[in-house]
Amino acid sequence: MPYRSTEKTRLKKDAKRTAMMQAAVRVFADKGYHAATVRDIVNEAEVAIGTFYFYFPDKETLFVHLFEETAAFLLQAIEQAMNSRTSFPAQLEAAIQAYINVAFYEPAVVQLLLVGGMGSVPSLAERRAEYREKLIRTWQRPLISALEQKQIEPQNVRRTAEALVGAFDEIIFHLLTATQTEREGQQAVGDMVQFGLRATGYLYT
């Protein structure tokens, strides 16, 4: 019986923490880092302000933690999609589709990764750099394989991966800020795939 009580308490705490994290994503996306307050977050999550400080010492700590979790979420989605395909065009399409899906179903998450806290959270700089590096390496892996199989023209795959990351982020950002429809998002997938194939010099056989 004591174990069940402890487990129930733990689950209740986890639920409150999750509610605060989800509320924080929405608040930061809506108001921006500077304008958002702890009070805004607890009101959105419908928890007491003391609950917030039980888990996080301040807004910045929460923001950095939130960034790390959302970055890991998006990276996993892209990697899993990429690993589910074998040919380079299919990997490219699956990864882009995964990114688009996250962007349309969890727009606040993607906005947080693209512009959240930019230049206003000093402790986030290193985390953002780590995320960008992981994202570049994720896109670089299929390029290396395609180059080895002579499916793309000879190139510096590191630079190509950097260019793809920047281009895809820019497209996603504009899709979200212009509040495009899901249908337009699907059209963008095809456009992004064609761009990626041209940019990498894919050799059609």
Domain extent for 43: 1-56
Q: What is the pLDDT of residues 53-65, one digit of tens each?
A: 999 999 888 888 8
Average pLDDT rounded to a whole number, residues 135-144:
96
% of the chain with per-residue pLDDT over 90: 51
Same domain, 46 and 142: no
Same domain, 153 and 138: yes
Q: In this model, does residue 148 exceed pLDDT 60?
A: yes
How many Å apart are CA 74 and CA 4, to the nearest integer? 34
* Neighbouring residues of 47: CB distance < 8 A, sequence distance ≥ 6: 16, 19, 20
Same domain, 181 and 110: yes
Backbone angles phi, psi at 57, to 5 degrees: -75, -25
110: domain CATH number is 1.10.357.10
End-of-domain residue from the set 28, 56, 84: 56
Q: What is the pLDDT of residues 171-198, one digit of tens each?
A: 998 888 876 677 888 889 999 999 999 9
Q: In this model, does residue 9 exceed pLDDT 80?
A: no
CA 135, 70, 185 angle in degrees (round to 5)? 75
> How many Cα atoms occupy the beta-carbon half-sphere of 166 within 13 Å?
7
How many Å apart are CA 90 and CA 151, to the nearest integer? 13
Average pLDDT rounded to a whole number, residues 89-114:
88
C-alpha dihedral sign at 28, 31, 37, 38: negative
126 exposure class (CB count in 10 Å sphere: 0-12, 13-18, 19+) = exposed
What is the per-residue pLDDT for 12?
65
Backbone angles phi, psi at 37, to 5 degrees: -125, 165
46 exposure class (CB count in 10 Å sphere: 0-12, 13-18, 19+) = exposed
Same domain, 66 and 107: yes
Same domain, 97 and 129: yes
